[in-house]
Amino acid sequence: MVMKEKKALRSVNGSRKPKAGGYKKGQAMMEYLMTYGLALFIIVVVIGILVAVVLPMLNPPDSCNFTQPGFSCKKVIVADKTNGNTEIIFQINNEAGRGVSLFKVLCTEAPVGNVQPTMMSVPPYTWAMPDPGYAIPAGGSKSFGSTTSDQTQKITCLKQDNSVVTLAVNSNFKGTLAVEFKYDDDVQGAPHRIATATVTGSVIQGT
């Protein structure tokens, strides 16, 4: 009689005592989710720190380095305030130990190895001077793109398709500065030479 009453009571309540292992499985699952959730959160934080702090430090250093001896340069990359064009103001130094004459100047995003003589003249973005060119004696220098120089023509940096580069202030520019020239003691009628420099640097606001 007592057993029948207990069975009837269980059927009325409609519930049974949970298995002993069910609670442990649920607790283990919660601990698993919390552990891996915390690990995922830490990974996200670390990635955020890398993006905010480390990656800007990995930008190429500010440089203007000729790939062959005889020339050196210093430069500034600017964003023209009027039209947003990316331009270069630079000074080239003749360290070849003999005089040179300059004929053309090009700033391009093309790699050094892709610069060809046919790319050197793209008016009005490149600088050009006909024979006998612009003479720079041994140990001398010449500035380009500056309003204080005798040549005030701006040197606009071009893409490989000769369209204009337009980078925002604080963006990073990487490209090539190319100069067409000849030495004063070159053989008469010898073809012009091309000197190239790899250029990297942050864009600053122009005037």
Q: Tell whether 52 and 154 lie within a shared domain.
A: no
Asked if residue 159 is part of any domain, the answer here is yes
Q: What is the pLDDT along the chain (207 residues), one digit of tens a residue?
A: 545 555 544 544 555 555 555 666 667 777 777 777 777 878 887 787 766 655 555 566 788 999 989 999 999 898 988 888 999 999 999 999 999 999 999 999 999 989 999 899 998 899 899 889 999 999 999 998 876 555 567 899 999 999 999 999 999 999 999 999 999 999 988 999 999 999 999 999 887
Asked if residue 21 is part of any domain, the answer here is yes
Greatest Cα pair distance in the chain = 128
Asked if residue 113 is part of any domain, the answer here is yes
Tell me how far the alpha carbon of residue 26 is from its chain's centroid.
51
Q: Tell whether 86 and 109 lie within a shared domain.
A: yes
Query: Where a domain ends, among 7, 26, 57?
Result: 57
**Under a CB-based contact definition with an 8 Å cutoff, are residues 141 and 190 in contact?**
no
Q: What is the DSSP string of 93-116?
A: EE-SSS-EEEEEEEEESS-GGG--
Q: How far apart are CA 78 and CA 203, in angstroms?
A: 5
Q: Tell whether 28 and 96 lie within a shared domain.
A: no
Residue 98 sits in which domain range? 63-205
Asked if residue 50 is part of any domain, the answer here is yes
Q: Tell whether 22 and 95 lie within a shared domain.
A: no
Closest CA to 150 of 161, 172, 134: 134
What DSSP state is assigned to residue 27? H
Helix H or strand E segment including 79: strand 71-79
Q: Tell whether 40 and 137 lie within a shared domain.
A: no
Q: Tell whether 94 and 159 lie within a shared domain.
A: yes
How many domains does the chain divide into?
2
Q: Tell whether 130 and 33 lie within a shared domain.
A: no
